[in-house]
Structures are given as C-alpha cells and as structure tokens.
Structure 1
Amino acid sequence: MEIKMFYRTQRDVATAVNQLVDAYWEEKIIEQKLIDGIKYIYKNNQEKLLKDNAFTKVVQQQCGKRRLLIVERILETT
C-alpha cells in the first residue's frame, strides 16, 4: 500500500485513512505500519484532517466512528 505525502482534498485523505485502517483490520499490514502511516498523513495534511481540534465533517462522514477512534488514539500518542 502506497501513501502519498500530500493529498488534494479532504475526501482523498479520508480514503487513504480508510485504506490504511481496513488493511490493518484485514491483517495485510502490521500495527507499526498503520501507526506510521496515520502519523505521516497527519503531519503533511493536518488542515484537511482536523479543524478546530476535531475531524472535519467530510472525514467524519467518509471514515466513520470506528476508524476515527483508532486514528484519534494514534494521534494522542504523538
């Protein structure tokens, strides 16, 4: 699975997050790769992922609560 450095839209960021978390759930990637991928996406696309310390509406709608709970826990450890 390839992760881009910069994404064009919030929808693209949400799709990348979905692919990462789903690959982890399907045991296609290890936990550390999930953590590194989420941190990498967040570092380079923070404004598309979060707004006023909350996930943007587009990301919330595209990813869902279960995936975002995982992302939130990963980001809390940074």
Structure 2
Amino acid sequence: MELKMFYRTQRDLAVDLNKLVDSYWQEEIKENELINGIKNLYEHNQEKLIKDNEFTKVVQQQCGKRRLVVVEKVLEISR
C-alpha cells in the first residue's frame, strides 16, 4: 500500500490511516506493514495526529474508536 510521507490536512491523514487499518483487517496487508505504516505516519505527521496526548478531534471523528485502538496499540509498542 502506498502512503505519503507528509500530509496537508488532518482529514487527509485520517483517510489514509483508515485505508491502512482496513487493509489489515481485510487481510490485504501483513501485520508488519501495518505497524511500519502507522509508525511512519506518526513520525512525519505527529502534530496532525496527536495533540495534548490525545488524537486530534478530526482524526477521532474520521477514524472512529475501533481503528484508533489499533493505532494506539501500535504506537505504544513502538515507544
């Protein structure tokens, strides 16, 4: 799956985050691809993804709780 390195808006970031997690759930990508993708998105777009130790409101609204639980677990593992 092809992901950008830098995103213009939080909404664009959320859309690709959704695609990434959904691809994993549909078994189109492997677990390590999911982990690497989330790490890269976080690394290069930290200010658009997390603010005040929470996911930004736009990301919360666009992604939903179930997807963000997966993202949060991956980020906890990588710290």
TM range (shorter): over 0.9
TM-score (norm 2): 0.97
Question: Which residue number corresponds to residue 14 of structure 1?
Answer: 14
| Alignment partners' CA distance in 2, 1:34 and 1:13 | 15
Question: Which residue number corresponds to residue 52 of structure 1?
Answer: 52
Two-structure CA RMSD over aligned residues (Å): 0.4
In the alignment, structure 1 segments of 5+ residues that lack a partner are none
| Alignment partners' CA distance in 2, 1:13 and 1:55 | 12
Offset, 1:72: 0.2
Question: Which residue number corresponds to residue 39 of structure 2?
Answer: 39
| Alignment partners' CA distance in 2, 1:70 and 1:27 | 15
| Alignment partners' CA distance in 1, 2:12 and 2:42 | 13
Work out the percentage of aligned pairs sharing the same amino acid.
68
Q: How many residues of Structure 1 are paired with residues of Structure 2 in the alignment?
A: 78
| Alignment partners' CA distance in 1, 2:2 and 2:8 | 16
In the alignment, structure 2 segments of 5+ residues that lack a partner are none
Offset, 1:77: 1.0
